Amino acid sequence: MANINLLPWREERRELIKQQFLMVLGGVAVLGVLLVVLAMSIVNGAISNQKDRNAYIQQHINKLNKEVAEIQDLEKRRQQLIDRMTIIQDLQGTRPLIVRVFDELVRTLPDGLFYTSLSRRDKRIEVQGVAESNNRVSSLMRKLDASPWFAEPNLTAVSAAPAYGEQASSFKLSFLISAPAADEEERK
């Protein structure tokens, strides 16, 4: 029988299969590295795209915040103008009131009495004056109470004023301005 040695052929075949295996393994490794690089590239691109979108949104948010601040500033200025207009309208509406108040002050002033100072805070008028006698002060209080323009007269102090006469007294008095109703005003 013939002697055939198959070992070198098997050895060559093993070497060939080993080389193919290593080539496939190297190809898979290269393919794996390429897939990882491709995946990283895609993820980095997505991150970059999202950062760009975020920057775009932030830019518009900043723009809108500026517009909101301008709107708030305009609303504040509008409210200030409305407040000014209200004050001016109140002043225009009450302009004749002060004339009426001074007119009524003269009408309620009895003979033998004069004012030394007069001050007003909102609707309260504070008066200081000198009277020939305490009866004149009482008469003034009655007239103030009877007046449709004044309310709640309150005598806070009375003291002797010998510089103006024997029975003269100085006084401090306060009362409120209360405008009469429109129909009472028309009757006068």
Q: Which domains does the chain have, with CATH numbers?
A: 109-187 (3.30.70.2830)
Give the tens place of pLDDT for each residue, 10-31.
Answer: 788 889 999 999 999 999 999 9
Give the tens place of pLDDT for each residue, 109-137.
Answer: 888 888 899 998 888 989 999 998 888 88
**Beta strands 124-131; 150-160: pairing state:** unpaired
Tokens standing for residue 2: 């013939």
Helix (H, G, I), strand (E, B) or coil at 5: coil
Q: Is residue 185 pLDDT above 50, yes or no? A: no
DSSP letters along 129-181, please? EEESSHHHHHHHHHHHHH-TTEEEEEEEEEEE-GGG-SS-EEEEEEEEE-PPP
pTM as predicted: 0.51
For 112, which DSSP code?
A: T
- Cα distances from 125 to residues 102, 144, 150, 175, 178, in angstroms, run 11, 12, 9, 6, 11
Give the tens place of pLDDT for each residue, 138-149.
Answer: 898 899 888 888
Name residue 83's amino acid.
D
Q: CA 172 to CA 116: how far, in whole Å?
A: 10
Q: What is the largest CA-CA distance in the chain?
A: 172
- What number of other Cβ atoms are within 10 A of residue 175's Cβ? 23
**Beta strands 150-160; 113-121: pairing state:** unpaired
